[in-house]
Structure 1
């Protein structure tokens, strides 16, 4: 029987800061617009955490089925691959976590929409179900989109372009167009984490038939792709700040800019792909730090 330690390992805690960044950004923006709802915000954090854990379980399960998790993989050893958790146990784990995320998501959507828009309620329920389906079919199933190079697009959508405006709307009940700029930033940074993951595993993915973006364009071009998406995130964040300028405090998130640039410099100098692994966690934590400072700057500016 799988141990608690194995389940925590399968949940991959280091991925959670990235999953929470979009939620925190949506809540911070809602506060900036004087439309924060504490119940909605807490439920959004809980639901996002559960969906990310479900996604990690499904990824562990799917890659083990396809043989991508093997002795040649450069990242951390997965739990199903190593036998710490059996496929049957992981299936049960996915059902439990998936069910919990659906229940908390249902409560979240009810709290954020039912009193003012029944149409929005059913629309968000559909998006929630779609999120779980997308989380499962990233690597699991016979037609997993992660194996045909669409992982970046789905991460961009489900970590940035959907959660930020979605959580904002659930808090506020309305949705300004400008909210999509910070959403793009979180989407870009999240895609950067996946790109580093796929660049690290480029050889094993190629040999396993997993046609990620780095496999398609090569390791060197994948680094330039990484540069473009990270700088793109910073550019759209700056555009939002300049368009909604109230105070110099809104630029406090630029404290994290040197960290992003230092890591980019190191990434370009690395030749052993395994050495990229620590930069996944660094980018996830840098994104969370960026998000917290971005939101703190917004809150101070409206006091």
Structure 2
């Protein structure tokens, strides 16, 4: 394996695993609390989440690369922008991942009989591609955090919970939505940290992420708000389910060094560490939530 490929894989791991695994862990915790855990459905949800997240990474790599957005990059290497892999190969990999997600999603639909989930799956794939793809990518208009909150927060987490518990329990809906908010807000914090790191380069090429629109100072404040709001969602979940769910707050000490680094005004490579810590914080939140809801 070449050094450049290893560098890309490391960057992909930092972006992919927390964002894909955390919603499934948290959603499965809700299912366990409601005595409805279904291992096969949980595994299928994990396949969907992983395939979509890896597909988004490939799609962003391709679309940003052919636009020249990654020509002067601070963060981990990009395949197309660096010339390591041909654009057509990266595009094919993205759609291969989307296809795998679609197959797993169809299996979930068949097992649950909820055929309207096909529409949700189509929307998720379109949102994954048009984040940076197409003529008017919404990620270039400052709407990336909206996509992350909806699809890697609400859809992935609540979806994991509700396909296992069924869609008729009001309490399950409430708990699934609160868990989704906690996980989704932390996923947004990952994206905010990523875009804060790239704010100068993105602004130079016309990529108007939320961080570019807010500016440096307000983006740092926004990162803190996302962390605090995620903690509040965890507390609300515990208050309406079991106080054992407060174990989800284990993410706070993990995120604390990242918050200090962001508020201290760090730029460039130090923010890569913030990205890693925020991803670990999301994973810690999901694991704490799973364990707490299971104990409850």
Aligned ranges for residues 144-163 of structure 1 at < 5 Å? Answer: 144-163=137-156
Aligned ranges for residues 1-303 of structure 1 at < 5 Å? Answer: 5=5, 9=9, 12-15=12-15, 16-70=17-71, 72-111=72-111, 113-114=112-113, 120-121=114-115, 123-174=116-167, 175-176=169-170, 177-178=173-174, 179-245=176-242, 249-301=244-296
**2:23/2:153 contact within 8 Å kept:** yes
Aligned-residue offset at 1:41 = 0.5
1:43-62 deviation line (CA, Å, top 9, x unaligned): 11111111111111000001
After the TM superposition, which segments of 4 or more aligned residues of structure 1 sit over 6 Å from their partners?
A: none
**2:132/2:140 contact within 8 Å kept:** yes
Partner of 1:117: none
**1:10/1:56 contact within 8 Å kept:** no
**1:11/1:57 contact within 8 Å kept:** no
Task: Give the Cα–Cα distance (whole angstroms) in 2 for the partners of residues 265 and 228 of structure 1.
Answer: 13
**1:58/1:94 contact within 8 Å kept:** yes
Aligned-residue offset at 1:8 = 6.8
Aligned-residue RMSD, C-alpha = 2.1
Task: Give the Cα–Cα distance (whole angstroms) in 1 for the partners of residues 121 and 10 of structure 2.
Answer: 22
Query: Where does the alignment leave 5 or more consecutive residues of structure 1 unmatched?
Result: 115-119
Q: Mark the CA change 1:255 to 1:48 in structure 2 (over 3 Å): closer, same or farther.
A: closer
TM-score normalised by the chain length of structure 1? 0.90
Residue range with higher mean Cα deviation, 101-110 or 3-12: 3-12
